[in-house]
């Protein structure tokens, strides 16, 4: 039996010796590499927090002492130590979630996967404990140095003070990275702490002093090392930033030194007031391919060979992100006023090649989407055309800035929303299903949804040419697929992909292929359908209204939330125009979608060609047609 086999819950750690805990850390790393290689997931972040998580569960009593992980992708070790070792279906339907999830365990407090929220959660929980007389409980928030670039973190720090004696421990997991290397003033400050000569000299000197006493001295040094770290940090004046915020600073600590981390966490716990423990860790620790990867240190991976770290399967085709990556460079070469903005996601959103080509024209603002949007308004005022590339789910965080700073001021800013619609394995918080319903309420906004590579190239060019208001280009995760040529284009830019007389499918982006397949099924049963791609789905084009007059039924199809979506907008436009064609809006339900594959979730929502054809036939003829309906359990 391995040591890991003996761990069924956190309290099983209490009886382990230091040597056993070190061996456990090695076993956990071996387990993570072997298991995550099979399924894909967040590998690098978890390899970096093995010792830290062991120490936390030794010092604190989860779930009585709540642990809040920011952003949550580093919670795999926490899952293992709290009795969840079946990683065979990680991030798959019915398997372990890739982030903390309350339905899995009482040890998961916050289902967090949007950065910079943990300190606000911890502040609220600790205040509640104080108010209800539970002063013997401690809240632990683990926040990465990348998340410290987010404004919400600093709003929380401003309100976490020692005016109310309560247990709150902030662990800054400082590995110098968010997705990629962390940028900005906070990163420079932490780097100065990490590398300050005074601190390093004092640390080295203290080790040498105790070592001169021989083996007893080295044992004594290990015994007081945690306290020495706190003393040395004060001696080297590293605590001034946080002490000015009324937060006790302890560190920096070697995050892979189990003794030092445990002792410092105990010191922070006993302090009884807000304390910050600064631990230095290495993302991807113990796995050579990750340690040698300068780009993202295996932040998130697909299935890989665990020995070499190489992907097991070739890409299924050219990705939407790669198409954008190439096209934005072409446009930037042609138009010097175009600049790029990223929120700590330079390579994942495809702005990396633009930054290599024009390094002075791409700005990484850190995990600070609100700042990014308002800064973009300022850039536009100064005569530039900003392109903010961001995952659709993270655009949720800056809607106020979009409305009040960009749209109100009619600023020419283009928002490129990657991973829009249903994404799947990362779960509820990462499905980008809110953007269409959320953004179409913005006055003057124009939203486009390319269906293929050709229309993405086309629409991006059109978007950056608009300088009197915000534009949006949104596309999903994954491979682009084959181009879908239009039969014709209307004067106002709507592409007609197929023509019929009974049903009009109005599609959003790549849902055009689903509509074409549904139309082919319907034709076999005597129902003809037109399929149109508006390209610009907001505002509703006049030709869509005209085409609706010519059909008995209009079906809108979008892979976004149905409530308040594009279909709702079309229904309103038809009513305003006095068109009485029946409308059926298809989209995802107004609920949080679980982690599963994209195809499974689309099937759950009825967004497959077979399901749509079946339902449309029932509306047109009053009877269903005998078509095969795919199983929602299809893992494709």
pLDDT digits (tens, 9 = 90+) for 12-33: 999 999 999 999 999 999 999 9
Q: Which entry of 79, 248, 283, 477 is annotated as an active-site residue?
A: 283
Could you tell me the pLDDT band of residue 241, with boundaries at 50, 70 and 90?
Answer: low
Task: Note the pLDDT tens digit of each residue in 328-348.
Answer: 999 999 999 999 999 999 999
Q: Which residue has the tokens 């209204």?
A: 545
Regarding beta strands 529-533 and 495-498, do their DSSP bridges make them parallel or antiparallel, or are they unpaired?
Answer: antiparallel
User: In the prediction, which pLDDT does 232 show?
Assistant: 46
User: In the prediction, which pLDDT does 165 show?
Assistant: 56
**pLDDT for 550 beyond 60:** yes
Could you tell me the pLDDT band of residue 240, with boundaries at 50, 70 and 90?
Answer: low
Average the pLDDT over each of 127-141, 191-205, 276-290, 484-498 and give the range with the smallest value.
Answer: 191-205
Q: How far is CA 74 from CA 97, 105, 373, 534, in A?
A: 12, 16, 28, 41
Could you tell me the pLDDT band of residue 247, with boundaries at 50, 70 and 90?
Answer: confident
Q: Which residue has the tokens 């509509």?
A: 515
**pLDDT for 373 beyond 80:** yes
Regarding beta strands 446-448 and 536-538, do their DSSP bridges make them parallel or antiparallel, or are they unpaired?
Answer: antiparallel
Both structure tokens of 338? 């175009």
Binding residues: 73, 113-115, 145-147, 175, 287, 369
The structure's pTM equals 0.85
The domain made up of 488-621 is a member of CATH 3.40.50.920: yes
Taking the CA atoms of 473, 477, 481 and 487 in sequence, report the sign of the dihedral they define. Answer: negative
DSSP classification of residue 135:
T
Look up 283 and say whether it is catalytic.
yes
Which residues does residue 174 pair with via DSSP β-bridges, in sequence order? 280
Q: What are phi and psi of 170, to 5 degrees?
A: -100, 120
Q: For the residues 300-314, what does the mean pLDDT come to?
A: 84
Q: For the residues 398-418, what does the mean pLDDT come to?
A: 98
Expressed in percent and rounded to 5, the helix, strand and coil fractions of the chain are 40, 15, 40
Q: 416 versus 245: which is more confidently predicted?
A: 416
**pLDDT for 197 beyond 80:** no
User: In the prediction, which pLDDT does 495 show?
Assistant: 98
In angstroms, rounded to a whole number, what is the distance separating the alpha carbons of residues 56 and 279?
12
Average the pLDDT over each of 222-231, 275-284, 588-597 and give the range with the smallest value.
Answer: 222-231
In angstroms, rounded to a whole number, what is the distance separating the alpha carbons of residues 51 and 13?
12
**pLDDT for 310 beyond 50:** yes
User: What is the CATH topology of the domain spanning 4-196+238-291?
Assistant: Rossmann fold (3.40.50)
User: In the prediction, which pLDDT does 430 show?
Assistant: 85
Q: Given its phi and psi angles, is residue 147 left (phi above 0), alpha (psi -120 to 50 degrees) or beta?
A: alpha
User: In the prediction, which pLDDT does 193 show?
Assistant: 61
In angstroms, rounded to a whole number, what is the distance separating the alpha carbons of residues 416 and 354?
14
**pLDDT for 259 beyond 50:** yes
Whose CA is closest to 126, among 278, 271, 226, 229? 271
User: In the prediction, which pLDDT does 426 show?
Assistant: 84
Could you tell me the pLDDT band of residue 205, with boundaries at 50, 70 and 90?
Answer: low
Could you tell me the pLDDT band of residue 425, with boundaries at 50, 70 and 90?
Answer: confident
Q: For the residues 88-107, what does the mean pLDDT come to?
A: 92
DSSP classification of residue 5:
G
Q: For the residues 547-574, what does the mean pLDDT come to?
A: 96
Look up 397 and say whether it is catalytic.
yes
Average the pLDDT over each of 147-151, 185-189, 440-444 and give the range with the smallest value.
Answer: 185-189
Q: For the residues 165-169, what does the mean pLDDT come to?
A: 81
Q: For the residues 187-205, what does the mean pLDDT come to?
A: 55
Average pLDDT of every residue of the chain: 88
Are the C-beta atoms of 608 and 598 separated by less than 8 Å? no
Q: Give the whole-number percent of the chain exceeding pLDDT 90.
A: 70
Binding residues for Mg(2+): 145, 175
Considering 85-99, 502-516, 613-627, the range whose residues carry the highest mean pLDDT is: 502-516
Cα torsion through 189, 193, 195, 197, rounded to 10: 120
User: In the prediction, which pLDDT does 268 show?
Assistant: 94
Q: Please tell me if the domain spanning 4-196+238-291 has the same topology as the one spanning 488-621.
A: yes
**pLDDT for 544 beyond 50:** yes
**pLDDT for 61 beyond 60:** yes
Q: How far is CA 628 from CA 525, 528, 531, 606, 617, in A?
A: 14, 19, 22, 13, 14
**pLDDT for 161 beyond 70:** yes
User: In the prediction, which pLDDT does 192 show?
Assistant: 61
In angstroms, rounded to a whole number, what is the distance separating the alpha carbons of residues 161 and 153?
14
Q: Which CATH superfamily is domain 320-474 in?
A: Thiamin diphosphate (ThDP)-binding fold, Pyr/PP domains (3.40.50.970)
Q: For the residues 147-171, what does the mean pLDDT come to?
A: 83
User: In the prediction, which pLDDT does 214 show?
Assistant: 59
Could you tell me the pLDDT band of residue 198, with boundaries at 50, 70 and 90?
Answer: very low
Q: Which entry of 225, 325, 397, 569 is annotated as an active-site residue?
A: 397
Tell me the domain boundaries of the chain.
4-196+238-291, 320-474, 488-621
Could you tell me the pLDDT band of residue 532, with boundaries at 50, 70 and 90?
Answer: very high
Q: 147 versus 181: which is more confidently predicted?
A: 147
Binding residues for thiamine diphosphate: 73, 113-115, 146-147, 175, 287, 369
User: In the prediction, which pLDDT does 234 show?
Assistant: 45
> H or E stretch including 24?
helix 18-39
Look up 624 and say whether it is catalytic.
no
């Amino acid at each position: 039996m391995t040591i890991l086999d003996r761990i069924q819950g956190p309290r099983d750690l209490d009886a382990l010796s230091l040597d056993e805990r070190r061996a456990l850390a090695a076993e956990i790393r071996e387990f993570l590499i072997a298991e995550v290689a099979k399924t894909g997931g967040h590998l690098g972040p978890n390899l970096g927090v093995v010792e830290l998580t062991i120490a936390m569960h030794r010092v604190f009593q989860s779930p009585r002492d709540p642990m809040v992980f920011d952003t949550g992708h580093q919670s795999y070790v926490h899952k293992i130590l709290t009795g969840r070792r079946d990683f065979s279906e990680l991030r798959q339907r019915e398997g372990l979630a890739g982030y903390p999830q309350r339905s899995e365990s009482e040890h998961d407090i916050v289902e967090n996967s949007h950065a910079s929220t943990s300190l606000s959660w911890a502040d609220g929980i600790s205040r509640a404990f104080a108010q209800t007389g539970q002063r013997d409980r401690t809240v632990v928030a683990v926040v990465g140095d990348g998340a410290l670039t987010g404004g919400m973190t600093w709003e929380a720090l401003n309100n976490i003070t020692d005016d109310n004696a309560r247990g709150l421990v902030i662990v800054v997991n400082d590995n110098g990275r968010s997705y990629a290397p962390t940028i900005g003033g906070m990163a420079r400050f932490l780097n100065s702490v990490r590398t300050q000569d005074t601190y390093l000299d004092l640390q080295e000197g203290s080790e040498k002093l105790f070592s001169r006493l021989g083996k007893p001295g080295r044992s004594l040094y290990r015994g007081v090392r945690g306290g020495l770290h706190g003393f040395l940090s004060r001696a080297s004046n590293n605590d001034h930033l946080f002490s000015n915020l009324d937060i006790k600073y302890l560190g920096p600590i070697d995050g892979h030194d189990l003794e030092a981390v445990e002792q410092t966490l105990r010191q922070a716990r006993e302090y009884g007031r807000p304390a910050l423990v600064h631990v230095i860790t290495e993302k991807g620790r113990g796995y050579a391919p990750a340690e040698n990867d300068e780009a993202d240190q295996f932040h998130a991976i697909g299935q890989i060979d665990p020995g070499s770290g190489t992907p097991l399967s070739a890409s299924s085709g050219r990705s939407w992100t790669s198409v954008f990556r190439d096209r934005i460079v072409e446009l930037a070469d042609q138009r010097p006023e175009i600049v790029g903005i990223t929120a700590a996601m330079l390579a994942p959103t495809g702005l990396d090649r633009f930054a290599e080509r024009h390094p002075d024209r791409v700005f990484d603002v850190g995990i600070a989407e609100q700042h990014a949007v308002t800064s973009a308004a300022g850039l536009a005022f100064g005569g530039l055309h900003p392109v903010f590339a961001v995952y659709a789910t993270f655009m949720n965080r800056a809607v106020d800035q979009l409305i009040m700073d960009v749209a109100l001021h009619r600023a020419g800013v283009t928002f490129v929303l990657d991973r829009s619609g249903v994404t799947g394995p990362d779960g509820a918080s990462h499905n980008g299903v809110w953007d269409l319903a959320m953004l179409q309420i913005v006055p003057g906004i124009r939203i486009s949804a390319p269906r293929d590579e050709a229309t993405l190239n086309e629409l991006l060019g059109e978007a950056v040419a608009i300088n009197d208001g915000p534009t949006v280009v949104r596309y999903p995760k994954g491979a682009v697929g084959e181009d879908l040529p239009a039969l014709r284009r209307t004067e106002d830019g709507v592409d007609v992909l197929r023509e019929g007389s009974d049903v009009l499918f109005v599609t959003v982006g790549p849902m055009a292929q689903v509509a074409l397949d549904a139309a082919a099924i319907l034709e076999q049963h005597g129902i003809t359908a037109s399929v149109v791609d508006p390209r610009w789905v907001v505002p509703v084009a006049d030709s869509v209204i005209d085409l609706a007059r010519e059909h008995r039924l209009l079906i809108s199809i979008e892979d976004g939330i149905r409530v308040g979506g594009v279909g709702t907008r079309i229904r309103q436009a038809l009513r305003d125009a006095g068109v009485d064609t029946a409308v059926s809006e298809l989209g995802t339900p107004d609920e949080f979608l679980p982690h599963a594959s994209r195809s499974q979730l689309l099937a759950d929502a009825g967004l497959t060609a077979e399901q749509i054809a079946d339902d449309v036939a029932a509306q047109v003829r009053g009877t269903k047609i005998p078509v095969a309906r795919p199983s929602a359990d299809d893992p494709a």
